[in-house]
């Protein structure tokens, strides 16, 4: 896990405020950096100086723009993605600390001001077009928000989605159920829209972001109040078509599987009666209809085979695709900051944590200590992030913690740096 910190500039409303004293120090034993912060005028025990362990790869200063951040944090991963590896990037910090500016950016006219996600898309499309090295490739965009235990698909009119762990052990995010002709039932996953050029990608992303839930704080009126997940997958038309075919096979399988279950339950129910002692005993007046069961199980097996064949088609397309990067993913997560309100005002200094934060903190703690049992189910967020924190395959994960230099934000800045250093100081 690579860990970076980014100090944002003081906002216009903060220009007259005192700044946090801060300095960095290179470790003598490794290539990582530690950071020290303190308030110039401490007013309580919570304001005492603090120094992190050597945990950060780089610490960016307020004058460093998105262009420098991208070139140092994300650009080195692009060659890996073009070779088929997956990479993930998480922005963490209190609302108003610069997370959304870092991941998305607000000025879309200047390339140097684009956020990490848009710069990544532009970089990938440039690579696709370079001497036509990767013909027919595009980017499949997925974007959803997570609020408490519910996901909202921003590419599908904020459709409410369920987050569940499937029988395959993976976490699936499913949208609304569609009833189709012939009794077919389709449960769509999060929508993925294929983009074949950067202009299309930017237009779709910006339009989807208009549906983001936003709140207002005393620092920034565009601060997020939810977690935002953006996924960029390298796709081609064959892969998109095969995915749609898989959805069709699934819609055929669902009603057959339900009917098989209903028949089994019906036969089991008829096969027993309650005895005089209240216990369930075999029903002497009914013989289990095994032919009925075998018939529906054979039908179910036929549809399961069709579904498995559709899955294999997808795997074969990725294996034999025109480029090794087909199917590779880059994930960007804007982790919501936690603010607390007292009366009518915004207070970033309050140090108490919500139950959800404590649950998520336990997951980070146990993961950083390399413990065998990690409570990923403690929160919906950590369920979704499990794949990224426990991946032992190719690719890499990165956390970018964004912090404010304003002295009145000392407690929030301290907590954010502690959160990041907890992960960065331990290399599994």
Nearest to 6 by CA among 77, 63, 55: 63
DSSP, collapsed to helix, strand or coil, labels residue 393 as: coil
Element (H, E) at 345: strand 345-347
Residues 6+ apart with CB under 8 A from 203: none
Q: List Cα–Cα distances, 28 to 35, 58, 301, 417, 428, in angstroms.
A: 14, 15, 62, 21, 20
Has 327 been labeled as part of a binding site?
Answer: no
Q: Which two tokens stand for residue 80?
A: 């890996």
Has 351 been labeled as part of a binding site?
Answer: no
Residues 6+ apart with CB under 8 A from 4: 56, 57, 58, 59, 60, 69, 72, 73, 398, 399, 400, 401
Nearest to 121 by CA among 235, 202, 207: 202
Has 97 been labeled as part of a binding site?
Answer: yes
Taking the CA atoms of 256, 260, 266 and 269 in sequence, report the sign of the dihedral they define: negative
The answer to whether the beta carbons of residues 238 and 244 sit under 8 Å apart is no
Q: Which two tokens stand for residue 313?
A: 């088609």
Residue 87: HSE in the Cβ half-sphere, 13 Å Cα cutoff: 23
Has 98 been labeled as part of a binding site?
Answer: yes
Give, to the nearest 10 degrees, the angle between helix 237-270 and helix 290-319.
160
By the 10 Å C-beta count (0-12 exposed, 13-18 middle, 19+ buried), 177 is classed as: exposed
By the 10 Å C-beta count (0-12 exposed, 13-18 middle, 19+ buried), 143 is classed as: buried
Has 329 been labeled as part of a binding site?
Answer: no
Nearest to 336 by CA among 104, 153, 93: 93
Has 142 been labeled as part of a binding site?
Answer: no
**Which ranges of 50-195 does DSSP label H, i.e. alpha helix?**
66-73, 78-81, 99-103, 116-129
Q: Which residues line the annotated binding site for ATP?
A: 93-100
Q: Which residues line the annotated binding site?
A: 93-100
């Amino acid at each position: 896990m690579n860990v970076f910190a980014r100090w944002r500039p003081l906002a216009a409303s903060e220009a007259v405020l005192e700044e946090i004293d801060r300095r960095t120090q290179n470790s003598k034993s490794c290539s990582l950096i530690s950071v020290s912060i303190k308030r110039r005028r401490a007013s309580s025990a919570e304001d005492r100086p603090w120094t992190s362990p050597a945990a950060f790869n780089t610490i960016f200063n307020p004058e460093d723009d998105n262009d420098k951040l991208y070139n140092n944090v994300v650009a080195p991963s692009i060659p890996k993605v073009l070779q088929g590896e997956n990479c993930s990037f998480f922005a963490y910090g209190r609302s108003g600390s610069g997370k959304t500016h870092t991941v998305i950016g607000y000025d879309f006219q200047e390339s140097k001001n684009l956020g990490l996600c848009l710069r990544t898309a532009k970089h990938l499309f440039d690579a696709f077009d370079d001497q036509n090295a990767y013909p027919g490739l595009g980017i499949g965009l997925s974007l959803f928000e997570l609020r408490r235990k519910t996901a909202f698909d921003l590419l599908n009119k904020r459709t409410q989605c369920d987050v569940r762990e499937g029988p395959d052990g993976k976490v699936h995010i499913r949208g609304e159920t569609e009833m189709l002709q012939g009794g077919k039932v389709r449960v769509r996953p999060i929508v993925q829209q294929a983009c074949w050029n950067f202009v299309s990608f930017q237009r779709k992303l910006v339009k989807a972001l208009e549906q983001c839930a936003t709140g207002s704080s005393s620092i920034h009126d565009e601060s997020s109040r939810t977690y935002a997940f953006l996924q960029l997958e390298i796709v081609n038309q064959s892969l998109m078509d095969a995915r749609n075919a898989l959805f069709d096979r699934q819609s055929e399988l669902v009603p057959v599987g339900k009917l098989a279950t209903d028949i089994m339950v019906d036969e089991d129910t008829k096969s027993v009666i309650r005895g005089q002692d209240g216990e369930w005993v075999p029903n002497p007046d009914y013989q289990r209809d095994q032919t009925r069961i075998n018939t529906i199980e054979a039908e179910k097996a036929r549809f399961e085979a069709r579904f498995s064949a559709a899955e294999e088609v997808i795997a074969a397309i990725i294996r034999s695709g025109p480029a090794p990067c087909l199917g590779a993913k880059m994930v960007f997560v804007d982790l919501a900051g936690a603010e607390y309100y007292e009366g009518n005002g915004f207070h970033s200094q309050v140090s108490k944590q919500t139950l959800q934060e404590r649950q998520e903190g336990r997951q980070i703690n146990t993961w950083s200590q390399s413990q065998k049992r990690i409570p990923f189910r403690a929160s919906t967020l950590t369920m979704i992030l499990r794949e990224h924190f426990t991946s032992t395959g190719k690719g890499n994960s990165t956390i970018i913690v964004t912090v404010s230099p304003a002295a009145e934000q000392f407690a929030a800045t301290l907590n954010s740096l502690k959160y990041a250093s907890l992960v960065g100081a331990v290399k599994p």
